[in-house]
Amino acid sequence: MRSARCARLPGKSNRPPSRNASGKQAQSIPGRRDLTGGAGAARAGAEGCGQALCAGVPRRRREGKAIDADRRCRGQPRARSREQSRPERRHEAGVEGAGMAAAGGPRRRLVHLDMKGAPPRASYLAEVRGCRRRRWVEGSPRPGPARPQRSLSPPAPQVLPLLRALGATGLLLEYEDTFPWSGPLEPLRAPHAYSPGEVRAALSQARAQRLEVVPLVQTFGHMEFVLKHKEFAHLREVKMFPNALNPHKEESRALVKAMIDQVMALHEDVKWFHIGCDEVYYLGEGEESKQWLQQPDNTPEKLCLSHIKAVASCVVSSYPAVTPVVWDDMLRGMSEETLAESGVPQLVQPMIWDYAADLDVEGKVHLIEKYRRCGFSKVWFASAFKGATGVNQSLTLIGHHLKNHLQWLKVASSSPAEVLEGIALTGWQRYDHFSVLCELLPVAIPSLAVCLQALKNGGYSEKIKENVEKLLGMSNLETETFMSASLGTFPGSNILPLVTQVSFYLKSSVDELLERNRYVTGWFSPYHRKRKIIHPIIMHHFQPDAVSLLSKWNVVVQDLQAAMEQVFHKCTVEEWMEENVHPSLQKLQQVVDDLDKAIKAQN
């Protein structure tokens, strides 16, 4: 879903499962009947990859004019500049499904919560009562009598009420491996996944806050969290790469249906279901696809559309009140004739994503007009409030994301009010399942607040800035630099200034001492350290500074770790620390230890 997102870099998708992988013991490969539960199992309903995902779904015409082979939607890896976004319109008071407000903001504003590999604690999102986890990780003690647990005090205020206060009208939830998958899908479930009770509690509070929920399940591209497991590796489009699903296999369709059914079982009364289908890299390059493409009139575009149609048909057939939503990047380059003849426009609503600060307004308006001519009744926009400016970004530049949203407002105001369903403010946590963490959610809440308020009010002004500061409890909100001088009172606000300190000063202060201090570089080089040589006089010129610096940073890191543990599980805290703290802190610690050894050797 992010050809321009600068986010998903397929080169990284071949890495072995990292810290965010579930690490669960592989089980036997499930058959189609196991996945779907017997009688409701998916059947092959049509030829090629356009077969229906569930029995009883009528086949639709798949004929279409052939497109030049050079224009195949093979989805070559592009730098995922998660710098793109989409518009949102103001929600008119008390009118469900009303058109755009006079200010030009989208009426539905969904906050995208990307959970992949590192979900926020359920208690951080919503008040969780009576949701005891009944699972345990293999190798850990079995559940026994309840024991007193150390409480993390003070308890973090919940995020969902704040989102509503800031102007959100709904949530776009992308669980990946943090969903409580069960049965044959249990290998997808990470040890830190939510329990069914935690999901229900969060959804209950979302309803209490009048936040509409739209679940998101990848069903074509970006299926690394599924296809990395040996139970499902045989369903890859290309054997080597775990990113794209083979659209030709009946078992692929059964897998998709089983995932949709399990998510829908916990998400009752939803109106939309996002089926992903973005960045289907290497589509058409699998052996079965190559054979299929040799047949007359078959093209990669038709291959892509037939799978999207099959998934959407399954959703519509099984859940008639639900409308499928799909990322639009695989559709943008297709001809109007190909799109119109595919039958896809009658089944799905495309979500146009673009995260750039200089988003092309005119180009987006023309794209919307094209989609309307093809038969799409509604479109969504997708912007970004974090995770779109660097794969290992640790701090959020609010100004970039604000400009992106202001551009989407221009697109909204230049398009017919009745065509825009809403906007999703994406908050990418990783560029793909195997990449490192980008900005943590608490770090990006000020950016989210600014963007939501800009969309709700149709623009941004000094008055709106003051309102954001009031809602966040911040005395001075900086949008044009990464620096945050104000602590704030929003959930997880104590994490932001600590992350800022680490990001700006940890590495630079350690490098200043160890690489630019002449006493260290001249009298305690790696050569001296290895042989435990130290001049007794020179030692006094840098030992106090090294010990003091290490002590100061240890205090900061301990405070940050304690703050992060209120919001994230231990594995997420460890991952962030290993990526952003340990390299510099361990280097400093090692020099201090070597200095102590050298002093003892001298004595």
Tell me if 472 sits within 8 A of 417, measured CB to CB.
no
Q: Which of 440, 439, 447 is nearest to 391 (CA)?
A: 439
3-state DSSP call for residue 287?
helix
C-beta separation of 115 from 217 below 8 A: no
Contact 383, 447 (CB under 8 A): no
Pair of tokens at residue 169: 């009208």
Longest dimension (CA), the chain: 88
> Which of 198, 279, 421, 439 is flagged as catalytic?
279
Q: Are 88 and 108 in contact (CB under 8 A)?
A: yes
Q: How far apart are CA 71 and CA 337, in angstroms?
A: 15
Could you give the CA distance from residue 301 to residue 194 in angstroms, rounded to a whole number? 37
* CA nearest to 576, candidates 558, 591, 564: 564
**CA–CA dist 24, 39 (Å, integer):** 29
Query: Which ranges in 504-569 belong to alpha helices (H)?
Result: 507-515, 518-523, 526-531, 536-565
DSSP secondary structure, 435-449, as one string: SPP-S-HHHHHHHHH
Active site residue 63: no
Q: Identify any residues that bridge with 379 across adjacent strands, giving them in sequence order.
A: 420
Q: Return phi, psi of residue 527, to 5°.
A: -60, -50
Give the E-state strand segments of 116-263 in sequence order. Answer: 170-174, 212-216
Whole-angstrom Cα distance, residue 302 to residue 334? 10
**How many H helices and E strands in the chain?**
20, 8
Closest by Cα among 86, 98, 184 to 408: 86
Query: Where in the sequence numbering do the catalytic residues fall?
Result: 279
